[in-house]
Amino acid sequence: MTTEKVRCLIIGSGPAGYTAAIYASRANLSPVLYEGIQPGGQLTTTTEVENFPGYPQGITGPEMMEDLKKQAERFGADLRIGIATKTDLSKSPYKVTIDDEKVIETDALIIATGATAKYLGLEDEKKYAGMGVSACATCDGFFYRKKNVAVVGGGDTACEEALYLSGLAKQVYLIVRKPFLRASKVMQERVLSASNITVLFEHNTLGLFGENGVEGVHLIKRKGETDEEKVDIAVDGFFLAIGHTPNSEIFKPWIETDEVGYIKVQPGTPKTNLEGVFAAGDVADPHYRQAITAAGTGCMAAIEAERYLMNKK
């Protein structure tokens, strides 16, 4: 296995990773960034981003990430394809294995690995993987033009996915386990006023059915109540939008996380329990999880890395 020594290693290529790369390269830290499993991060799977300051007309997620990437490249950040597969953070310099074949030793480490979409945990999700089950409407919505689809979840992601799909599909069912939506008011209003979105409140998914792919969903309405009722709906696509799991697994032996797996940082800073290791973006943020907050913490992580490296000299 080859070993390479760098001053500042950034793992992840969402708004947090790229912003950290912009700041770290402008501070002459010669950062190396590995893009990870999903280059560009979660925003590459969203449609319109309307709430990132500086884009009065909105911008698509993939375009915004391309802009951030170009900005990081402009200042000389070394952006590489590769996935961090193992870490040894027992002492500095910290060791991160990439693709199980190369070890990067680094003085400062910025973890910006983001979070991954959650599934319900049903056997049928695996059975119909790639055959009608998806966690990304923007990626797969195209296949369901003029068809019927279901989206699970009641948050902003679910509403966004349902709205996106409503522009393609004939009918969208939004399966919500509570009697209300958790999404922001503006998203709720858009969903509730869309003519081809039906919100199924107080419904839970029991399973999926279909011969050669998803043909429908088995639902249970008002589970556990006296008027509990089983309902089937006919759909060709089943989209999950029920939140995310932080991608912190490979750091857990060394880095403190909360019970869900979000990396713990010192309040108001990107500092983890290890000196010289910083966390930015969704991997350390159970509360806000916005592109702009991720970019902000990416900036903070790079500034802290610079200070750490300066003091270490």
Give yes or no for a contact between 242 and 118, defined as CB atoms under 8 angstroms apart: yes
Cβ count near 162 (within 10 Å): 31
Tell me the closest approach of the beta carbon of residue 266 to ligand NDP, in angstroms.
22
Cβ count near 36 (within 10 Å): 21
Give, as ranges, the residues between 144 and 203 that touch ligand NDP (CB under 6 A): 152-158, 160, 177-178, 182
Active site residue 159: no
Does 242 bind ligand NDP (CB under 6 A)? Our answer is: yes
CA angle 135, 136, 138 (to 5 degrees): 165
Nearest residue (CB) to ligand NDP, 155 versus 207: 155
The residue sitting closest to ligand NDP, measured at its beta carbon, is 155
> How many residues touch ligand NDP (CB under 6 A)?
17
Tell me the closest approach of the beta carbon of residue 230 to ligand NDP, in angstroms.
17
Q: x/- site string to ligand NDP, residues 63 to 102, per CB under 6 A?
A: ----------------------------------------
Tell me the closest approach of the beta carbon of residue 115 to ligand NDP, in angstroms.
9
Active site residue 140: yes
- CA 176 to chain CA centroid, Å, is 21
Give, as ranges, the residues between 116 and 135 that touch ligand NDP (CB under 6 A): 120
Among 7, 69, 95, 289, the residue binding ligand NDP under the rule CB under 6 A is 289
Give, as ranges, the residues between 45 and 64 that touch ligand NDP (CB under 6 A): 51
Nearest residue (CB) to ligand NDP, 6 versus 176: 176
Tell me the closest approach of the beta carbon of residue 158 to ligand NDP, in angstroms.
6
Nearest residue (CB) to ligand NDP, 121 versus 313: 121
Tell me the closest approach of the beta carbon of residue 136 to ligand NDP, in angstroms.
12
The residue from 67, 78, 88, 136 that is catalytic is: 136
Rounded Cα distance between 253 and 108, Å, is: 18
Nearest residue (CB) to ligand NDP, 219 versus 299: 219
Does 220 bind ligand NDP (CB under 6 A)? Our answer is: no
Per DSSP, the residues of the chain read: -EEEEEEEEEE--SHHHHHHHHHHHHTT---EEE--SSTTGGGGG-SEE--STT-TT-EEHHHHHHHHHHHHHHTT-EEE---EEEEE-SSSSEEEEETTTEEEEEEEEEE---EEE-----HHHHHTBTTTEES-HHHHGGGGTTSEEEEE-SSHHHHHHHHHHHTTSSEEEEE-SSSS--S-HHHHHHHHH-TTEEEETTEEEEEEE-SSS--EEEEEESTTSTT-EEEEEE-SEEEE-S-EEES-GGGTTTS-B-TTSPBP--TTS-B-SSTTEEE-GGGG-SS---HHHHHHHHHHHHHHHHHHHHHH-
The residue from 99, 139, 232, 258 that is catalytic is: 139
Give, as ranges, the residues between 13 and 52 that touch ligand NDP (CB under 6 A): 51
Tell me the closest approach of the beta carbon of residue 203 to ligand NDP, in angstroms.
9
| Max intra-chain CA distance, the chain | 69
Nearest residue (CB) to ligand NDP, 121 versus 268: 121
The residue from 107, 124, 140, 156 that is catalytic is: 140
Tell me the closest approach of the beta carbon of residue 153 to ligand NDP, in angstroms.
4
End-to-end CA distance of the chain: 28
Just list the catalytic residues. 136, 139-140
Contacts to ligand NDP by CB under 6 A: 51, 120, 152-158, 160, 177-178, 182, 242-244, 289
